[in-house]
Amino acid sequence: MKKFRIALLSLLLLLILAPWGYANQVDLRIFYVNDFHGFTEPSKASAHEASLGGIAYLAGAVDRARGKQPGLLLAAGDMIQGNPWANLFKGKSTIEVMNAMRFDAMVVGNHEFDFGPKVLKQRMAQARFPVLGANVKGLAALKPYVIKNFPGVRVAIIGVVTPETPVATHPRNVTGLTFSTPESAVRKYLPELKRRADIIIVLSHCGFQADRELAAKVPGIDVIVGGHSHTKMLQPELLGQTIIVQAWEHAKALGILNLKIKDGKVIGFDGGLQEISPASGAPNSRVQDIVARYERQADSLLQRTIGETQVDLDGAHVRTGETNLGDFVADVMRQTAGAEVALINGGTIRTSIPQGKITVKDIYAVLPFDNYLVAISLTGAQVKAALEHGVAKLDEPSGSFPQVSGLTFTYSRSAPAGARVKDVTVAGRPLDPQREYVVATNDYLVAGGDGYTVFGEALKSAGDYTNQGGTLTSSKLAYNDPGTWLRDLLITAIQARKTIAPKTDGRIKAVD
């Protein structure tokens, strides 16, 4: 009897001291956002649509949904850069909001690097949550993963960012850093995480299609919380045994994923997106105060009216086709540089402007990056090569899709990449492969941004090319103004015109 009592006591003690047992089902709730880009206020794409977003309203929705159930609040990258509210303070304002919301983890997005490594280190030091990047080497402050313990379940969160980051930010921002594939990074850490945790979450800033490929190639991932492609996933997708989610963009939606876990395994799930707007419920007052404080600091500059547009300016579809805003920006660049042609990546343009008054803030949101105007002499063959690159990725919206001025071209969707561009004209005449044309672009593309290598190769071919701290010199340069950002050129152009009403005119056409 004595031995029985000792054994029973030992068993009870083991159960008390053990961190958890698996006898009962555990419910875990995951809240997620991605591609916030500093858009704090509700906004609308056109004058006829309802406003969506508002980070204080999103924070309020998180507060109400958290309740007493165990939960995680995760950010899938591109949080600190994009809108002037974030850019003017180099992301400090965003991290302060995220601290107030009590985020559990964030993965770096490619645009977290846009202010350079020094600023990124400052933002990571400011954050009261881990910033992850398992496939980034050379930045010690980035953690590969974090483990969160809840009653009954241990959750590992590993972060990966697109390996295309060196061409999705200015290359100078990632000097000394290397980016391995997400697949290799997850495979490297997965055995270790399987020993230390029950549930594996990949926090990914790689894009929806890349997340699907990762799930197919690497078994053992329970959940992928994604970003980068701004995908509006109304419902979670199950691929094999991996659940994939993503929550659109700009705080317009809060993603909620409910997991039912038993014996350390997911046995059921549901979830979706909750659209965020002023109608969502009361805002989080603390976050609202932070937003207002930074807005007051910036408002004297940003709220100044510079002109008016008589039509909606479309920045939402620049990654798939010609838009009136893409045409207008490219026209301003070509005219300012005195070039024959202008070509930029659609990803340069980040948002739309509804019909009505235009403020400095609107232009800062449209062109948030610190890029400047460059014009280079290219042969007609090189111009065509740039266009081919621009329409090489048509399976999903791509930032490399071109917006142009001074030329027209057609392309075939059914033709293979690299052989899609058909009829090209400059000033109404067929493109001459041998002739040189002055082409306006930006320093981001010259540095190889979005995979556009032709501009940099053209500069280097002259043999006298230098790049000192982002300042370019070459005999192939026809225009180079590193002291003026593109957004400031656009502001000046709108102020001069006072009223604008750009229309698309068939510069880019798909022929099948």
Count CA within 13 A, CB hemisphere, residue 483: 0
In the β-sheet with 305-309, what is the strand arrangement from edge to edge? Answer: 356-359, 305-309, 499-500
- pLDDT at residue 36, rounded to an integer: 98
Asked whether residue 472 carries a pLDDT value surpassing 80, the answer given is no
Q: What is the 3-state secondary structure (H, E, C) of 430-450?
A: ECCCCCEEEEEEEHHHHCCHH
What CATH number does the domain located at 305-510 have? 3.90.780.10
141-155, 168-182, 497-511: which has the minimum mean pLDDT? 168-182
- pLDDT at residue 224, rounded to an integer: 99
Quote the CA–CA distance of 15 and 3 in Å, as a whole number. Answer: 18
pLDDT in tens, 292-322: 999 999 988 899 999 999 999 999 999 999 9
The answer to whether 181 and 52 are in contact (CB under 8 A) is: no
Quote the CA–CA distance of 28 and 36 in Å, as a whole number. Answer: 24
Quote the CA–CA distance of 364 and 383 in Å, as a whole number. Answer: 29
- pLDDT at residue 15, rounded to an integer: 43
Task: Quote the DSSP letter at residue 297.
Answer: H
Run of H or E residues at 121: helix 117-126
- pLDDT at residue 5, rounded to an integer: 57
The stretches of 391-468 forming alpha helices (DSSP H) are: 443-446, 454-461
The answer to whether 69 and 25 are in contact (CB under 8 A) is: no
End-to-end CA distance of the chain: 86
Quote the CA–CA distance of 245 and 252 in Å, as a whole number. Answer: 15
Backbone angles phi, psi at 496, to 5 degrees: -70, -35
- pLDDT at residue 471, rounded to an integer: 61
Residue of 315, 304, 332, 283 whose CA lies nearest to 399: 315
Sequence-ordered list of residues with C-beta below 8 angstroms from that of 443, at least 6 positions apart, any chain: 170, 371, 372, 374, 470, 472, 482
For range 76-96, the mean pLDDT: 95
83-87, 124-128, 502-506: which has the minimum mean pLDDT? 83-87
Domain residue ranges of the chain, discontinuous segments joined by +: 21-293, 305-510
Band of residue 102 on the pLDDT scale cut at 50, 70, 90: very high
- Residue position matching structure tokens 């002259």: 462
Q: Mean pLDDT for the chain?
A: 93
For range 268-284, the mean pLDDT: 97
- pLDDT at residue 470, rounded to an integer: 59
pLDDT in tens, 431-445: 999 999 999 999 999
pLDDT in tens, 21-65: 444 899 999 999 999 999 999 998 787 889 999 999 999 999 999
What CATH number does the domain located at 21-293 have? 3.60.21.10
Quote the CA–CA distance of 485 and 403 in Å, as a whole number. Answer: 18
For range 105-120, the mean pLDDT: 95
pLDDT in tens, 351-365: 999 999 999 999 999
Sequence-ordered list of residues with C-beta below 8 angstroms from that of 506, at least 6 positions apart, any chain: 322, 408
Asked whether residue 469 carries a pLDDT value surpassing 70, the answer given is no
For range 70-97, the mean pLDDT: 94
